[in-house]
Amino acid sequence: MMRNIFNVSAITVCLFAMMTTITSCEKEELTIPNVDEIENSGNISDNDFGCSYEVDLTGVWEWVQSSGGLIADTVQQEQLGYPVRLEITVSSIKRFENNDLVYDAEYRIEYAEHIDGYKFGVLFIEGIDLTYLVHDCGDYLFLDEQIPAGYRHFYIQVY
């Protein structure tokens, strides 16, 4: 009888230790926010995620996912099968897909105010006919295509 109690107690302790370890590992691995939570928080330029209309895009940005389009789908890097990154300086932007340079262009940001009163930045890239509404959220960046049924592209800063 005493032996069975010991085995049950030992198993319980082991299970508790494993659950604690798994839970703590999950917390440490969370490096990107819940994109849906940020997107559904209302005006991204005015929320608790540190987003700003005054953008500083300099750095290296890794693409995480895009959502939107005519069928309102979401595409993630795992589905695409190769990495996409932006390398941005004060005056130029380079886009790489699978480490191949897609474009190297100058850019500018113009600021505007929405009729609802919030301010936003618009990204214009030389040679690209598409403009983007920009949300700089510190280590996170949203680029919204300014076309009907456009995509919202989510990037995380790596450098």
pLDDT at 106 over 80: yes
Structure token digits, residue 34: 């819940």
Q: Which residues pair with 106 in a beta bridge?
A: 92
Half-sphere exposure of 58 (CA within 13 A, CB side): 4
Contact status, residue 142 vs residue 123, Cβ threshold 8 Å: no
**For the segment 138-154, what is each residue's pLDDT rounded down to a tens digit?**
888 899 999 988 999 99
Residue 105 belongs to what domain range?
Answer: 36-157
Q: Are residues 23 and 65 in the same domain?
A: no
Instruction: State the Rg of the chain over Cα.
Output: 22
Domain with 86 in it: what CATH number?
2.40.128
How far apart CA 69 and CA 74 sit, in angstroms, is 9
Whether residue 118 is found in the same domain as residue 60: yes
Q: What is the pLDDT of residue 35?
A: 55
Domain tally, the chain? 2
Q: Are strands 151-157 and 84-88 parallel, antiparallel or unpaired?
A: unpaired
Q: What's the pLDDT tens digit per position in 51-87?
A: 777 788 999 999 999 999 888 889 998 898 999 999 9
